[in-house]
């Protein structure tokens, strides 16, 4: 079996190119792959199309760093503080430049990725009828089918999806639990999938609970062992959300100069994810670790 493990630097360098469309943050609030976003900035990847329902400050940071050409998303900002300052500066003041925005709702972007996963050109919906999204997103068409008005939502087929998971084996089979959001559809719709895993485990561990496997290992392009990859967002069973970090980011990035100082401190001024964690503080990361246990009830997969 092929060993797909790579370092974070290798995976980003080899599998994400400038100009690619990339899904980041498919699980909504938790499991956001911040470590991969930081590495994209350090490697100076440009002209990216970011695709996400919600990726908290990851989108805002990449916009401010000049990495984003287009945003296909439902929302861009800081969930606990408001709209992202870099996003506003880009759209309102063209700083560092104006990005293209393709507007979606959380539901419609999920349908677009599901259509991509299914291999169909679009999926119909009633949910956007009467909304302004149909004015801002011209890729969606309103058609009638047997007298009923429907919105046709075009499929999204990203170049790469970056997903965080709790554990994976070296062949790219993985367990993800908690709020999975649109992770499964994003992975199945994409040409490549990069996994950031808290733990690398033997294949027998993954095989022991097949219902937690969202997609087959052959869809996975690279597996990265990257503990605390999601900081400051949470990982179910491993880390809590670092609320103070989000609020500090919002305050420090209110001006362009403040954002550039933040970026130098936490991203461009360090050489790796490990150095980022040291900058944040090992004691701070340790304090965020989940200390309690709440296990699911065991299941019996026996067939005879």
Question: How far is 109 from 128, CA to CA, in rounded Å?
Answer: 11
pLDDT at 233: 97
8-105+157-288 classified as CATH 3.40.1080.10: yes
CB 168 within 8 A of CB 11: no
Q: Whole-angstrom Cα distance, residue 304 to residue 215?
A: 26
- pLDDT per position in the chain (304 positions), as tens? 799 999 999 999 999 999 999 999 899 889 999 999 999 999 999 999 999 888 889 999 999 999 999 999 998 989 888 889 999 999 999 999 999 999 999 999 999 999 999 999 999 999 999 999 999 999 999 999 999 999 999 999 999 999 999 999 999 999 999 999 999 999 999 999 999 999 999 999 999 999 999 999 999 999 999 999 999 999 999 999 999 999 999 999 999 999 999 999 999 999 999 999 999 999 999 999 999 999 999 999 998 9
Give the tokens for residue 286.
Answer: 């340790």
Is-contact 48 18, C-beta < 8 A? yes
Alpha-carbon distances of 50 from 59, 136, 209, 279, 298, rounded to whole Å: 8, 17, 32, 27, 38
So what's the pLDDT on residue 55? 85
Q: Which of 254, 250, 193 is nearest to 224 (CA)?
A: 193
Write down the H helix ranges in the chain.
8-15, 34-42, 57-64, 85-88, 106-118, 133-136, 183-189, 203-207, 243-252, 256-263, 273-280, 282-288
In angstroms, the Cα distances linking 16 to 39, 48, 92, 128 are: 11, 9, 29, 32
Residue 188: phi and psi, rounded to 5, are: -70, -25
Domain ranges of the chain: 8-105+157-288, 124-154
Specify the DSSP class assigned to residue 239: B
pTM of the model: 0.97
Triad 57, 288, 294: Cα angle to 5°: 110
39 contact partners, CB below 8 Å, separation of at least 6: 8, 9, 12, 273
């Amino acid at each position: 079996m092929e060993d797909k493990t790579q370092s974070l630097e290798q995976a980003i360098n080899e599998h994400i190119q400038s100009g690619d469309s990339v899904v980041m943050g498919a699980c909504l609030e938790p499991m956001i792959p911040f470590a991969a976003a930081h590495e994209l900035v350090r490697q100076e990847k440009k002209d990216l199309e970011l695709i996400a329902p919600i990726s908290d400050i990851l989108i805002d940071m990449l916009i401010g760093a000049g990495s984003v050409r287009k945003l296909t998303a439902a929302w861009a900002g800081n969930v606990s503080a408001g709209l992202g300052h870099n996003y506003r500066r880009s759209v309102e003041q063209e700083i560092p430049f104006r990005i293209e925005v393709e507007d979606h709702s959380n539901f419609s972007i999920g349908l677009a990725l599901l259509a991509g996963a299914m291999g169909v050109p679009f999926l119909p919906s009633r949910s956007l009828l009467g909304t302004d999204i149909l004015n801002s997103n011209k890729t969606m068409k309103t058609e009638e089918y047997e007298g009923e008005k429907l919105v046709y939502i075009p499929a999204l087929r990203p170049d790469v999806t970056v997903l965080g998971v709790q554990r994976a084996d070296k062949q790219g089979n993985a367990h993800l639990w908690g709020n999975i959001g649109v992770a499964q559809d994003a992975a199945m719709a994409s040409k490549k999938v990069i996994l950031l895993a808290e733990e690398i485990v033997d294949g027998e561990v993954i095989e022991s609970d097949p219902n937690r496997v969202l997609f087959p290992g052959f869809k996975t392009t690279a597996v990265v062992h990257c503990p605390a990859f999601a900081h400051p967002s949470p990982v179910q069973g491993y880390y809590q959300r670092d609320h103070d970090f989000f609020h500090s980011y919002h305050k420090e990035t209110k001006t362009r100069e403040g954002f550039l100082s933040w970026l130098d401190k936490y991203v461009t001024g360090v050489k790796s994810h490990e150095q980022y964690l040291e900058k944040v503080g090992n004691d701070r990361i340790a304090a965020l670790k989940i200390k309690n246990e709440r296990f699911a009830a065991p299941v019996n997969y026996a067939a005879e």
